[in-house]
Amino acid sequence: MRSLRIAAVVALLTGYLFGLLWFLPASLVWQQIAGQLPGDIQVQKVQGTVWRGRVLGLHLQGLDHGQLSWKVRPSGLLRLRLVADLHWLPRQGQVSARLLAAPGRLQLSSVQGELDAQGMAALHRAPFILEGRWLLDIERIELAEPSQVTHAEGWLTWRGAAAGLPVPLALGDLQAALRAEDGWLTLTLADQGGPLGLRGNARWQPTRPMFLDTGLQARPQADPALGSALSLLGRADAEGWIEWEASLQ
């Protein structure tokens, strides 16, 4: 009889502690970890619990990145890893993804959504105007260390691309295929037959600039201003291609 009572007390205490954890306010946890996060990350308001909640007014380095909501899948904890469904709502866009975090491993998968190029340019204070939509269709990106990309698979598409100042010039649809190579995220760049001819690649690692090694060409249907702008980057070869390398912060 005594053993049954002890078992009952243990069960009640376990249930009570589990309930406390389950309904633990996300704002309380945020207060404990906010000072340990990299970069200048601030939020206006945190709602919900650590298992299901959202951040309103997500600011990174002083820029408003909209709101982020999450839903943790408790089954992942049985394998000592965090699995959560994320939903990001920036300016005029939305992105959903699955997050997996484990010791020495960080993975984003099933990344689907779209971003407004003009809104993102304004958000990051780009010195020129962008138009069109950025479409994300990424099967998986995985990091083994904060600066090492070990796997990448998917596509980025800039549909209806346009860029320039004071008037954006039509570029057509542009696309990038993602892969990982020697710890870098590598993007193979290509056009889809529009006004701007594009070929080459880009390389990026977290906390490092993006390196571009590209060929650019103004096609016959392009606005003459596009050809003039590209000529500032270098001389074209016999086929009209201009080789351009750059490092973008």
What pLDDT was estimated at residue 110?
97
Higher per-residue pLDDT: 148 or 243: 243
pLDDT at 21: 45
pTM: predicted TM-score of the whole model, two decimal places: 0.82
For residue range 132-144, list pLDDT tens digits in order: 999 999 999 998 8
pLDDT per position as a tens digit, 5-18: 443 334 333 333 34
pLDDT at position 98 is 94
**3-state SS class at 57:** coil
pLDDT of residue 18: 40
Asked whether residue 1 carries a pLDDT value surpassing 80, the answer given is no
Is the pLDDT at 37 greater than 60? The verdict is no
Q: How far is CA 111 from CA 31, 93, 96, 135, 152, in A?
A: 28, 13, 6, 10, 12
In order of 17, 154, 168, the CA distances from 40 in angstroms are 34, 29, 32
Domain boundaries along the sequence of the chain: 90-248
The predicted structure's pLDDT at residue 111: 96
Cα–Cα nearest to 149, from 179, 176, 121? 179
Which pLDDT value is given to residue 6? 41
pLDDT confidence tier of residue 25, bands split at 50, 70 and 90: low
pLDDT reading at 205 higher than 50: yes
* pLDDT greater than 80 at residue 217: yes
Residue 235 pLDDT greater than 80, yes or no: yes
- Amino acid identity, position 174: L
Q: Is the peptide bond before 224 cis (omega within 30 degrees of 0)?
A: no
